[in-house]
Structure formats: structure tokens, C-alpha cells
Amino acid sequence: MKIFEQHPVLERTAKVFFVFAGAIVLAFLIKFSMKLLVPVLPDIITFEAAKTVFQAAGRAAGWRGEPPAPVRVSSLDRPTSLEGRWSIRLDDNSAYASAGYDDSSWETLRFPTIFMQYYYWKTGEARKKISGVIWIRKSIVIDNSIPKGDIGLILGRIGNADETFFNGVKIGGMGSFPPHEFSMWNHPRHYIIPKALIRHGVKNVIAVRIWYHTWGEMLGTLAIAGLDDWQISKSLSNFLLVIVDYIIIAMGVPIFLIFIIFFIRRRSSKEYIFYCFQLLAGLVLIMELCTYWNFYGDNLTRVKVLIVSWAAINVTHPMFLHRIYDFKRPRLELFFWLVVTTIVILAIFFTDEEQARPLGALGIIFLTSQGLYNFSCHCVALYKRSPYSKLFAFFGSIVVIGAIHDGMFYFLKLIGLNVNAGLLFKYMIFPYSAFVLYMGTTLVFVSRVVGMMDEIVDLNVNLEHKVKDRTSELHTAMEEMESMNDQLVKTRDALWGEMMLAKKIQTVLLPLKPLIGGYEITATTLPADNVGGDFYDVINSDGRDWLVIGDVAGHGVPAGIIMMMVQTSIHTALNQNPSLPPAKLLSVINRTITGNIRHLHEDTYVTITVFAVRADGRLHFAGLHQDIMVYRAKKRAVEVIETDGFLIGVRDDIDDMIGSGELALEAGDCLLVYTDGITESWRKGSVRDKRTTDDMYGAQRLVALFESLGERPTDEIREGILDSLDDFECNDDVTMVILKRLP
């Protein structure tokens, strides 16, 4: 729309309003739809058929059956696997930690796995709040041939927190249980079994108390190992799953600072700021994997932050790609902003314990599918040979594949599905994808810097050649300029002489010592240029006294010439008819001045007020100029009288447009008339585009000053006003006339 093209700020405001309004509407629609759809899904509480399906799945998975046989540990030369069936119980009782507790009635489940399907089968609740405690137990027999000593226990990664017991004694745990819940689901569990707890040749029991929330799992390597193998496993797992994450964060912080500084210096390069946005969101996601500190307070808030960060990175990444590949897709970007805003609103305001999983899964489905669009951006960039596509497309594609993998990783957690696909969907690879992204963006950044350096070298080489050429040209030009300078000096002297002559004529025309009987009078004018457009006059003609003040628009020689014409016209008219009323006087001189201005081809005009001063204190006046200020001695206050009329020099006939007025001065009263060079001056040091009304001298400041000086002689009043202008810059002529009636 044309109005948006003319007002880009209005366009941006409209887009922001559209995004927020649309996101709020979509969020309400999705929330309402979830309330309608979830009850009619196969709810294993309501529908027996659905319950039968999970029961069948339970039988196939061996959730019920004979208790698992104890695992025999016959050697510590290599780790003994604990993978297989574990006894499992979906409630919480401290007695379950005891080695003598009879768990023969418990169901069994194969570990490592995501155990949420067991939860659904056991509770019949697929859409309720999913949070609680589950116990798992495993019996082992350690041969008598194994030397007595500490043994290592490896339990992979447990979601979300655990307490691990050996023969009824707690040997370790990570995370914390409600009410001070804290998930450490991505941290590998490595615990030491003290030799004092180990009973050789008989059954020993490993019991693990697990807190689950939104998802529950025990994945990774499960084993009993000698301390050497245990230490290797612990160091390697911690490095790959935790330490690498902190290394990636440490790399990301300086990269973020570098790119944000580049954006501040080059605001037009928006790719830098979008890269920083996705970097911030990515660092939040990585911190989710490795944090030892509870920043969130509760796990629901943590899930919300995870959803918002995932949405942010999936929207800012295509924005970054659009700019680095020079794609122009504003409508698609508007759609992306709508999506991420909707997800943020849903996560913050509409996601509760019951809705966290379905809304999270819905968001991940969309955001993960968006990875296909990001992959298409790289393909299109390569096809079109867009800038930096050969450098970045490979790395960017790997990042997209990693993002899709991790999206599926979280999706499987939320729906409780365990997929046996080797290492796929078992570990988050986002930190490694981030490292690949660092490599790609670093190559692009280095390529840009090298390109700029090459351009600078080329410019320097070309500059050297140009300097030589220009030096030769300058020698020739200097010779010509010396000749021209001689001519300019002569011309300047001639023009200066004309200027000084014009100024001298102007000065001569102004009254040196104006006098009006019965009054004290002081007048002054300070032209902005050598020749000004302001003027005043005091005329004594045939026993009548006249006071005139005016201002020709502009200044310099043309304004000075027109000012001389006005003064001459007034003197001529009054000499011919001293009894002219002020309004008639202006009408007479207007015809002359209007014609002369046309002949001069000047686009200007004159503001003027004339006063017929009477000995009894009455002043008749006419003409449009600045307001008249009158200091009333009895009241010690200033009265401001507006002038009325029309501009001189614009129209031939202004008889019907000239207003007239009358005022009276009593003994001690003082009249001040002035030009706008005083009131429109600006405070020194003020910046043009940042000035405020307080920076202008203004009429109110002049009124206040005149009120404080009104009782003084007119010379002191003039000096006080001129002194007040010391802190102001006058860009126009300054003229004032002060008239005080004597007692």
C-alpha cells in the first residue's frame, strides 16, 4: 500500500500488530482445539479397546512374567552388562531399597529404555499430568573369585533425577526430587559400590528410585565394571555429554560478542543480529543438557523455556539464511514470526502440567518439519550460486540434519516411544551441530574480512596511481588558480567597496540621536550581515512625531536596498501630507514598494509598524509586525499588544487589510518595539535537530526581562536586553526602539 511505502515506521508497526494479534488468535484456537480433541483420542482410561492394546504391548514387552534372573559378575577384566529385564514398580516406598524386599510380584521391563509406555499401561493415563516416582531393581551375584574391593556401577542417563541404592544403602544420586525438583537427565550416572556393601557369592540388589516428569527414561550403558574401566567410561561420558557442551558455550560467547559488535557498527547487515539471536537460543538449549544449577525453579518452567528456545532458533536461523544468501522473502518471514510468537504465547500462558506434552509435541512436529525448509534454502542457494553458498551450504546442511534429529529426539521422549536404532535418537547432537555452525559462519566471516582487505589493497594501489595523476593536475590547476585569485582579489575589493558604500548609506539614513518631546528614547540596530534588512526611524515632520520599525525578509545588500526604499517612501509621503493617519501612510508606501520589489525580481516582503506619537501620551499605530510591549509603571507589569494588518510589498492594494489601533502612555510607562532577531535567537551550543523550546530566546523571556528593567532609563533597558543575548546566537538582524514617557 502506498501509505506504507511513504511511512515505513507505520508499516513496521502494522506488521508487529498483525503478528501479535494473529498469534493470540491462533493460540486460543489451538488451546480450544486441544480441549476438544484430547478427550476423543484413544484415552486408555475410557476405552477398553485402547487399554487392551497397551496390555498386549505389555505382554509382548515382558512387563509381566517371572522375575529376572540375577546377573552373575564373574570377572572385572571387562564390564558386565546390566542390560535386560529389571523389576519395576510405579509407586514410592523406602522399603523398596532394601536387599531383602520381595519384588517377585513386580512387573519387568527391558532396560535401557524410555519407560513411559509402561506408565501408560500401568496407570491408564495418557493425557493427565505425568509426574511421579518409579522404582526399578536388579539382582547381581559377584563371584567369590573376584578380589574384595570397590566396584564401579554405570547406569547411563536417567530422566529426570535418581537415588541409587546397593543392598539398601544409598551410593549416589543426581538431580533432586519434588518439592525442590531439578532434572539432570543428560548427565551420565557413575557410582562407586563400596567394598563394605558387597556380598560375594550371594545375591546383591541394585535399587534405583527415579523421579519422572513429562518423560522418564534410563538410556545408555548399564554395567558393573572394574574401577579402571569405570573411570574410563566416566571420563569419556562426562567429556562427550557435559564438558563438550561447556566448551561449545565458551566458544559461543566471544563469537556472539564479535557479531553483535559488527552489527552495531554495520546496522544494515541484519544477518549478524539474527545470528546472535539464534546463538543465544542455542546456548540456552545447550545449557539444558549440561547444567548443574537449577535456574528455573520447577520442571514445567524448564520445559517452557526449552520450547521457547527451540522455537526461537528455528525462526531466527532461516532469517539468517535469507540474509546471508540474499533471499527476499518478507511474507514468509512474517509467517515465521507469527508461528514463533504463537508458540511463545502457548508456552508461557497456556501450557500447564497436563498440556505440556501434547503442545510440546505439536510444536516440535512443526518446528522439525521447518528444518526441511532450511535445507531447501541451502539447495536453492547452491543452484542460484548465491553469495557464500559454496562456503556455508555444506555446514548449514549438517546443522539442519542435526536439528531434525534432535527434534525427533525430544518428540520421542514426549510421546514415550523407544526406538531401537543404534545411537540415533539416543543422544542430543545439538552441541556438535553448533560447532559445525561455528565453523561455517567463521569461514563466511573470514571470507568477508579477506574480501574487504583485498578491496583495500586494490584501492590503495589505485589510489597511488590516482594521486600521481591528481598531483600533476593540481600543479596545472594551481597555476590557473593563482591567475584566478588575482582576478578574485580585484573583484572582492570592488564588491567590498560597494558593500561598505551600501552600509554607509544605510547608517546615514538611521537617526543618530532620535528625539521626541516629552519622551526618553533609545534605539539600536545590529545587522546580521554588513548590510541588514531591519530598520527604525524617528521622524519629526510639521510638528508631528512618528516612530517607525520594520523588517525586510532576508538580509544582505538586497534587503538593505529595500529598507532604504521604505524609509525614503515614508519621508516623502509625510513631507507631502504630515497629517496622514498611520493606516493611510502604509497604504501609500505599499504601492511604491510593491512595484520596486517587482522591478528588482526579489521574492520578499516587509513587516512594519508606524506610530503617530502625541505629546499627551496617545500613540496611534498601524501595520503588521512583532507584538508591542508596554511597561505599565503603576502596575509594574508588561502589557503585550498584538499588531494587525498585512505584509508590505506583496499586493498593490491593501487598504481593506490594514488595521489600526491606539494606546496611551502615562508618566513612567515605557514602550518596547523590536524585530524577530531577538526572540528567534538560539542558545549557543544547542544542536539544530535536538533543540527544545527552552533553547529559543522567545517572547516570554523578553517580557520577563522587560518587566524587571522597565523602571530604568531606556539606555539601561537596551543594555540589559543586549547582555541577555550573550548566551544566544543571533542569525538575524537585531533592532529595538525603547520609548518612555517623561513625568
pLDDT tens-digit series, residues 598-627: 888 788 899 999 999 999 999 999 999 999
Q: Which residues pair with 545 in a beta bridge?
A: 540, 613
Q: What pLDDT shows up at residue 35? A: 54
Residue 67 has what pLDDT? 80
* Alpha-carbon gap, residue 509 to 507, rounded angstroms: 5
Going 715 to 672 to 567 to 569, the CA torsion angle's sign is negative
| N- to C-terminal Cα separation, the chain | 72
pLDDT of residue 14: 57
71-73 vs 131-142, strand pairing mode: parallel
Query: Between 269 and 466, whose confidence is greater?
Result: 269
* All cell numbers assigned to 334: 512474517
pLDDT per residue as tens digits for the range 231-272? 999 999 999 999 999 999 999 899 889 888 888 888 888 888
In the chain, pLDDT over 90 holds for what percent of residues?
34
pLDDT at 659: 83
Nearest to 697 by CA among 491, 706, 495: 706
pLDDT level of residue 31 (50, 70, 90 thresholds): low
Name the residue with higher pLDDT: 556 or 172.
172
Helix (H) or strand (E) holding 314: helix 299-324
d(CA 592, CA 482): 46
Confidence of residue 738 (pLDDT cuts 50, 70, 90): very high
Residue 427 binned pLDDT confidence (cut-offs 50, 70, 90): confident
- Note the pLDDT tens digit of each residue in 355-367: 777 777 777 777 7
d(CA 140, CA 340): 50
Share of the chain above pLDDT 70, in %: 84
Residue 87: pLDDT band by 50, 70, 90 thresholds? very high
Single out the residue of 64, 45, 79, 97 nearest to residue 227, CA to CA: 79
Helix 557-576 and helix 430-509: axis angle, to 10°?
A: 40
670, pLDDT greater than 50:
yes
Find the range with the poorest average confidence among 128-132, 375-379, 688-692.
128-132
Above 50 in pLDDT, residue 44?
no
Q: What was the pLDDT predicted at 613?
A: 94
pLDDT of residue 468: 76
Burial class (CB in 10 A: 0-12, 13-18, 19+), 353: middle
Which residues are 107's β-sheet partners?
A: 88
Check if the beta carbon of residue 320 is closer than 8 Å to that of residue 274. yes
* Cα gap 519→669, rounded to integer Å: 10
Model confidence at 47: pLDDT above 50: no
Tell me if residue 375 falls in helix, strand or coil: helix
With a threshold of 0.85, does the pTM exceed it? no
φ, ψ for residue 374, nearest 5 deg: -60, -40
Distance CA 497, CA 296 (A): 83
Q: Pick the more confident residue, 43 or 349.
A: 349
Pairwise CA distance, residues 277 & 333, whole Å = 15
Q: Which of 49-63, 279-293, 428-442 has the highest mean pLDDT?
A: 279-293
Q: Which position has the grid cell 521422549?
A: 413
How many other CB atoms are there within 10 angstroms of residue 218's CB atom?
24
Tens of pLDDT, residues 633-654: 999 999 999 998 888 988 888 8
